[in-house]
Structure formats: C-alpha cells, structure tokens
Amino acid sequence: MSDSLLNPFMESAIALSIKALRSGRGGPYGAVVVRDGEIIGRGMNEVTSLNDPTAHAEMTAIRQACDHIGDWSLEGCELYTSCEPCPMCMGAVYWARLDRVYYGNTKEVAARFGFNSQIFYDELALPRDQRQIPMEPLMADERSRFLNEWETQADKAEY
C-alpha cells in the first residue's frame, strides 16, 4: 500500500481524530478495525471525558470490533489509526491477533505536540527493579495456584 495514496479507512480514522478533538471528548486520535473491506469497530480517544486512561482510540475500536464479531480474536482484521500506537495499544493489537496496523503520524511527530509515549517504551525496556514505578512480587507460596489450576482445566479456552 503506497503511503501517498488516499485510503478511505485511514480517512475514517482521521475523521474520528477530528471528532474527538472538536467534541472535547479526548485527544486527537481515531482508529478503525476493518475486516473484509468493512469497518467493524470505531474508536476515538475518550480518556478525559470518560476518566479512563485506557480509552484510547485503538482500544475502543478493538473492543467494539470484538463485540461486533462476538470473539476476542481479530485474526483477518486490520487496524487503521491516526497515530502510531502506544505500548498499551500495541499490546492490545498483539493480544487481539490483528493482521496488520496502518498508522498516520509517528510517535515522534506526536511527541512534538505534547503526546510523548516514549517514556513507556523506555520504562518497559528496563529491568523491573529500575523502573520509576516499583514492582514487587508477593505471596511466593500462593501465586502459582491459579496457574496450576488453569493448566489442568479441561475446558479452558486457549489463547
């Protein structure tokens, strides 16, 4: 797909970005999930209006697409988003098994406008004991009990 060609799905993502911005619902981000040439999930950033730090455009579009098809897996689908996804949204992309991501602005361009997610990339690359938010394991004797039970569960849904 050529970077310079107009794309109706990216146009939809950008339109959602503008809607989020102009409605005051959140930052200027929009995303759509597409399957077989049809938009099955739409999202815009609604972090500030919902008081939900996970209400990023990509997360909302993924949730809506999963609800639309009645499955947590979005294999066979693509994500079009107005900006390169942050680490949280990329995690959702991988968990949802999306086939491809198309994006507008890079994370570097977004950072120039005050949307700097580089700290999250940097923090995740550090060893746990060097991160700004301390992370400590607890309950060594108890913490694996639920995983052991999961392993033996005959009717578990693999993912």
- pLDDT digits 0-9 by tens, 20-59: 999 999 999 999 999 999 999 999 999 999 999 999 999 9
Helix 8-23 to helix 57-69 angle (10° resolution) is: 120
Catalytic residue among 11, 38, 46, 58: 58
Active site residue 58: yes
> Which residue ranges in the chain fall short of pLDDT 50?
none
* pTM: predicted TM-score of the whole model, two decimal places: 0.89
